[in-house]
Structures are given as C-alpha cells and as structure tokens.
Amino acid sequence: MKATVLYESVTGNTRDAGNLIAAELRASGVDAKACAIDRADLQWLSDSDLVVVGTWVDGLFFFGQRPGRPWKVAKLPVIDGKKTAVYCTYATDPGKVLDKLQAIVERRGGDVVGGAAIKRSDLVGGASEFVDRLMGAGDVQTLVSR
C-alpha cells in the first residue's frame, strides 16, 4: 500500500503532524510520503491508495473556525475514488473544521474514511492515535491486505 500525506501549514505544527503521520504509516508497513499541498509529488499521489489531507484551525477561538487556507486545499489535484482521511491541528477548539475539510476533499473526489483533530501540544500522541484508528478501519485495512 502507498500513501500520500498532504498538508497546509504556516507555523510548522501541521507539517510536523503530517510528517509524524507518514512515519507512523511507514511503521505500520505503508509506503508513505508527506509533502505540502502545493508541492505534491503528482506521480506518488496518483499511485497512492490512501491520501491524508491536513490543515490547521483558522479563525476565532470558539466560533468561526475554518480550515487554514481552504483555497489551497480546494486546489488539490483530483483524487477521484481514493480512500482519504483528514486531519487538523488546533490550539483550543477545532470546532467543525474536520467537517468543512472533509467537504472540500470530497469535492475533489476523495472517499473520506476518517479524520482527527490533533492538539498542537500533543502532535506525537495525536498522530499515533490517528494512524492506529486508520489502520483499524475496515476500508483502509482492505487496502493494506491487497
């Protein structure tokens, strides 16, 4: 199985989480690569069975949250029919960012099978828990056992 982890990051937290997710996927036997959304390896992405997309929570602390730079995420290459997962990094409250990010990814053709809000004070634990849940998901497990 091959996976691409795409992220949009400003301060580095979402990038770090993406790299941790890719490392956890590799530790689970998945050939994974992480890169910024606007620097996606298109051949790797095309060959991937799983695409993970992440951004940070932008907006006010308890209302008006949205995915960071949603216009960049909306310009993802088309990922028709690919199993996809979403994540966001946050400081205080993720709000409904995962739902909003999922909607953007689905418009690009992704089949979203899971998501996680990862608190920036625990990127390592959040990334590990996210990958554990992904690898236990039936849809992803089917890809791994190919």
Indicate the pTM of the whole model: 0.91
Instruction: Characterize 7-33 residue by residue with b for buried, 16 or more Cβ atoms within 10 angstroms of its Cβ, and e for exposed.
Output: bbbeeebbbbbbbbbbbbbeebebebb
Query: Which percentage of the chain shows pLDDT scores above 70?
Result: 91
Matching CATH number, 2-144, of 3.40.50.360, 1.10.3720.10, 3.30.1490.20, 3.40.50.2300: 3.40.50.360
pLDDT for residue 78 is more than 60: yes
- Domain borders along the chain are 2-144
pLDDT for residue 143 is more than 60: no
Among the residues of the chain, which ranges form H helices?
13-27, 42-47, 70-73, 97-107, 123-136, 138-144
Provide mean pLDDT across the span 111-138: 93
The whole-angstrom separation of Cα 93 and Cα 16 is: 19
Amino acid code (one letter) for 27: A
**How does pLDDT run across 5-62, given as a tens digit for each residue?**
999 999 999 999 999 999 999 999 999 999 999 999 999 999 999 999 999 998 766 6
State the pairing for strand pair 83-90/2-7: unpaired
